[in-house]
Amino acid sequence: MEGHKEPLWLKVEGSHCSLSEMDDFDLTRALEKPRQLKIERKRSFDERSMSELSTGYARQDSILEMAHSPGSRSMVDTPLSVRNSFEPHPMVAEAWEALRRSMVFFRGQPVGTIAAYDHASEEVLNYDQVFVRDFVPSALAFLMNGEPDIVKNFLLKTLQLQGWEKRVDRFKLGEGVMPASFKVLHDPVRKTDTIVADFGESAIGRVAPVDSGFWWIILLRAYTKSTGDLTLSETPECQRGMRLILSLCLSEGFDTFPTLLCADGCSMVDRRMGVYGYPIEIQALFFMALRCALSMLKPDEEGREFIERIVKRLHALSFHMRSYFWLDFQQLNDIYRYKTEEYSHTAVNKFNVMPDSIPDWVFDFMPLRGGYFVGNVSPARMDFRWFSLGNCVSILSSLATPDQSMAIMDLLEHRWEELVGEMPLKICYPCIESHEWRIVTGCDPKNTRWSYHNGGSWPVLLWTLTAACIKTGRPQIARRAIDLIESRLHRDCWPEYYDGKQGRYVGKQARKYQTWSIAGYLVAKMMLEDPSHIGMISLEEDKQMKPVIKRSASWTC
Ligand code: GLC
């Protein structure tokens, strides 16, 4: 710490109008129902430009007005979203009640929400635990409602857990690994609370959650941005926690790509689903976490080196993703005509992808206008599947260029039947079946075609979709998705996922009262009512980072 002196890079710049602030204004105008909007200027801190940092001129960050007055907490029982809506949907109040029921307390303090509050289910498994990824929409709902304490407690509690020694059998895990989930054990006799955590050593498949650390950093920024409370992220503990996570993914090895190599099952898709390698979900979260960390790391003795490494990685990662993961009509046509077995720097088909490996469905699926980041790219392998979370996070983090973001939304509109159907939103498209299912999933009966992680529809994804819609100025798409959710979710008791090609059936093994289905709905509603909320989960494009992708059919048509 530098005593009480305010670090240079955090000084207030009163007259400065941040990019995100200007953007909020445009978003508001883009919406059709202005009378429902509660326009508040959020206290925020800007993201430092990567290029500025790389040249050593860190811009002084600006702090805008406070998001929530301290007094707002006295009204916690009536959610702001209910009070401010013009005509609140009856589901909103029910959802708040259900969300509050799922809260978990440690020594009297709220520290998270359990994954599902489903008493009817025979098997609890680990659904009575607080999952890091599942808590994100809950946290955003609480932040948007002016209740940051549970989020702060969660961030501190998980930070403490990160400090535990983690082992799988005789193998010691990296220091920075964050838990997938934790559980509070109450002893009614001794009146004590203890915590057990799972870092992958109990998880099905024994995979460490790569996404947890990234979500933790993203949430720390959301908390800071929403409350204007810089003191949490500035603590030596939080700074160290970030550095530990970063050293896990910025370490040098045998990599030839800036993307992060992962095992199957290390994120939301936590079972074998052929997402090993360089899955889009992890790459997008990695990019977003790097940018969030960049805005919070102090350039002190320990932080400076990380800042430099992040800046370099971001440049390489965005180039790689925008060039090699991007697929649109033109790009597909180019791959279709690829030569193979090229050697040397002049190779066009750098990863030696065989055109014969392009699945038939993608030729019909690809519209003339539109595009997306494919599921995975590695030597001789392109997974052409569309994954919703990775694509939405690419928009939110500005990993996607503005043109690419528009193209992702164009594709969603064109392929609404396939990607949304009757229940937003497919986790991936299409499903895998028959022989491929046997080989890729290892005959997983939970991941049969159009079910669960294999083309199932997950209501939680509504919030990422809504955020992406608002960021790209297309709130009407989000409204359409919310209408679908409102026609069913409550009646079906907030299931975890839906099955079928259209997402028409409540999932075979879906839990009811799944917390992130509930919280995801609330977050989507609140963001649509007050689009300025999106600032806590979205990062503006770094204007200095030149887009590398060549223009192609999806944005010239
Ligand atoms: C399932 C999901 C995972 C989620 C967990 C708790 O395992 O695949 O993404 O975190 O349930 O809801």
User: How close is the Cα of 480 to the center of ligand 1, in Å?
Assistant: 26
Q: What is the DSSP letter of 49?
A: P
Query: Ligand 1: which residue has its CA nearest to atom 9?
Result: 268
| pLDDT over 60 at 39, yes or no | no
pLDDT tens digits along 328-342: 999 999 999 999 999
Task: Give residue 122's pLDDT.
Answer: 64
Q: Give the integer Cα–Cα distance in Å for 215 and 281.
A: 12
Query: Which of 36-45, 74-83, 340-349, 502-511 comes out lowest in average pLDDT?
Result: 36-45
pLDDT tens digits along 260-271: 999 999 999 999
| pLDDT over 80 at 387, yes or no | yes
| pLDDT over 50 at 249, yes or no | yes
Strand partners, 514: 116
Share of the chain above pLDDT 90, in %: 75
Q: Give the integer Cα–Cα distance in Å for 395 and 409.
A: 9
Ligand 1 is surrounded, with C-beta below 6 A, by 115, 131, 133-134, 268, 270
Exposure string over 125-149, b if 16+ CB within 10 A, otherwise e: ebbebbbbbbbbbbbbbbbbbbbbe
pTM metric for this prediction: 0.85
pLDDT tens digits along 83-107: 444 578 999 999 999 999 999 999 9
User: How close is the Cα of 511 to the center of ligand 1, in Å?
Assistant: 10
Please provide the DSSP assignment of 414-444 as one string: HTHHHHTTTSS-BSEES---HHHHHHHHSS-
| pLDDT over 50 at 532, yes or no | yes
Helix (H, G, I), strand (E, B) or coil at 120: coil
Task: Give residue 203's pLDDT.
Answer: 82
User: How close is the Cα of 126 to the center of ligand 1, in Å?
Assistant: 9
pLDDT tens digits along 293-320: 999 999 999 999 999 999 999 999 999 9
pLDDT tens digits along 418-454: 999 999 999 999 999 999 999 999 999 999 999 999 9
User: How close is the Cα of 129 to the center of ligand 1, in Å?
Assistant: 10
Q: Give the integer Cα–Cα distance in Å for 29 and 13.
A: 26
Could you identify the atom of ligand 1 that is nearest to the CA of residue 496?
12
User: How close is the Cα of 180 to the center of ligand 1, in Å?
Assistant: 9
Task: Give residue 205's pLDDT.
Answer: 82
Which of 124, 128, 134, 281 best tests ligand 1's pocket when mutated (most atoms within 8 Å of CB)? 134
Confidence of residue 535 (pLDDT cuts 50, 70, 90): very high
